[in-house]
Amino acid sequence: MPSPYRALFAAPGTRGFSAAGFLGRMPLSMMGIGVVTMVSQLTGRYGLAGALSATMALSAAAIGPRISRLVDQYGQRRVLRPATLAALTATAGLLLTAHLRGPDWVLFVCAAGIGSVPSLGAMVRARWAALYRGTPRLHTAYSFESVVDEVCFIIGPIISIGLSTAWFPEAGPLLAACFLAAGVLWLTAQRATEPEPHPRGRRGDGTALRSAGLRVLVATFVATGAIFGAVDVVTVAFADERGHKSAASVVLALYAAGSCAAGVVFGLLRVTGAPERRWLLGVAAMAVSMIPLLLVGNLPLLAVTLFVAGLSIAPTMVTTMSLVEEHVPRARLTEGMTWVSTGLAVGVAFGSSVAGWVIDAAGARAGYGVPVASGAVAIAAGFLGYRRLRRPAAGRGGTVGHHSEREERHLA
């Protein structure tokens, strides 16, 4: 491992919470695509599969920031365990109902309950911020976490789709639930690195969404999430139409692999200049990279196209988290990071749902028009909100009053 990454783990406890976060984040890449695979196998209805995935994402968008706000207020251990128990109960209900061919409305109720899954990525990033706030190592830490996210998205779909197609339809989501339980229990057992809670009434009280800059990031990532949600669903259907449904996991893994490779390199760079400019460039790159999908006609070409498209994801996400730290109060950092994930979740819900209906009506190839259109919306939202990102509010984030120092020290 290159030295900048090795140096991250000099602090006690970092290896433990990072490993726990990796395990607990596996469901992020496994649950949605696992449900799509499971339902499409059991019913053949991609519209229903996409709608259930959308319901989970929308529920997470509604519940997730509130869970993270409680975490900021009371601490990770006191909040994550009961929230995870609720999510696991809902998952058990969803799998049982699907297995018994129960009514659709029960599936949707259970899918909504899965939205109480906590954002483990935000929890781990908050621990890194507490350790390395105001130092160049925080940029490397955020890059490392972005790589971990992408490794999850490389491994997760392969495991989830592979198990559901080769073993039994419910196998992928079931294993995802096991990973979630183990990851949360392991993370919350590590008290030494848990960030200090910030009870209400102290400075920084109030929702993180009061920040205009954060609202821009969230709005843009709604459109970006639609790209991700649509690509997942359409790729499964595209592979299915060509008689190689299980190959979808490999194709989606290459999409994540492109992002992973870019994230590793980005973490080694000493980046300079305004982070909001890099962020806007990254959003534009993600959008433009969707256009070639309209021209692909086979799985090998699709795999190459998605790998190239993935190169812009991790650097954009790293820069986004740095911008969140600039624009939200330190006492609401976990909530602020979760709002970005919420924007993505809303977008994933919209993209997967619309893509499912397009596939049912016009076929998989036409479904790739959904991420192309979503990319155009992301570019528009980024340009319209760019000025707000250039003006971090005073008294915000972990590097308050040090924006120029941040650039001088090469933090993203």
For the chain, give every domain's residue range: 15-192+207-396+404-408
Q: Residue 101: is its pLDDT beyond 60?
A: yes
**Cα–Cα distance for residue pair 150/178, rounded to 1 Å:** 20
pLDDT category of residue 203 using cuts at 50, 70 and 90 = very low
**Cα–Cα distance for residue pair 55/52, rounded to 1 Å:** 5
pLDDT of residue 399: 38
pTM, two decimal places: 0.71
pLDDT of residue 365: 81
* Percent of the chain scoring above 70 in pLDDT: 91
Residues whose CB is less than 8 angstroms from the CB of residue 309 and which lie 6 or more positions away in sequence, other chains included:
255, 258, 286, 289, 290, 292, 293
pLDDT of residue 153: 72
pLDDT of residue 206: 63
| Among 75-89, 97-111, 219-233, 389-403, the least confident range | 389-403
How many Å separate Cα 119 from the centre of its chain?
A: 9
Q: Residue 394: is its pLDDT beyond 60?
A: no
Do 237 and 370 form a contact (C-beta atoms < 8 A)? no
The residue to which tokens 């695979």 are assigned: 37
pLDDT of residue 395: 44
**Cα–Cα distance for residue pair 319/330, rounded to 1 Å:** 17
140-189 pLDDT, tens per residue?
888 888 788 778 877 777 788 788 887 888 888 899 999 999 999 999 99
What is the radius of gyration, based on Cα positions, of the chain? Answer: 20
**Residue 279 half-sphere exposure, CB side, CA atoms within 13 Å?**
30
Please report which helix (H) or strand (E) contains residue 81, including its range: helix 76-99
Mean model confidence pLDDT for the chain = 81
pLDDT category of residue 400 using cuts at 50, 70 and 90 = very low
**Cα–Cα distance for residue pair 51/408, rounded to 1 Å:** 47
289-342 pLDDT, tens per residue?
999 988 888 888 999 999 999 898 888 888 888 788 777 777 777 777 888 877
pLDDT of residue 44: 73
The residue that leads in pLDDT, 339 or 207, is 339
**Cα–Cα distance for residue pair 336/198, rounded to 1 Å:** 14
- Topology, domain 15-192+207-396+404-408: Growth Hormone; Chain: A; (1.20.1250)
| CA neighbor of 213 nearest in space, from 126, 325, 73, 345 | 325
Rounded to a whole number of angstroms, the distance between the first and last alpha carbons of the chain is: 21
pLDDT of residue 409: 28
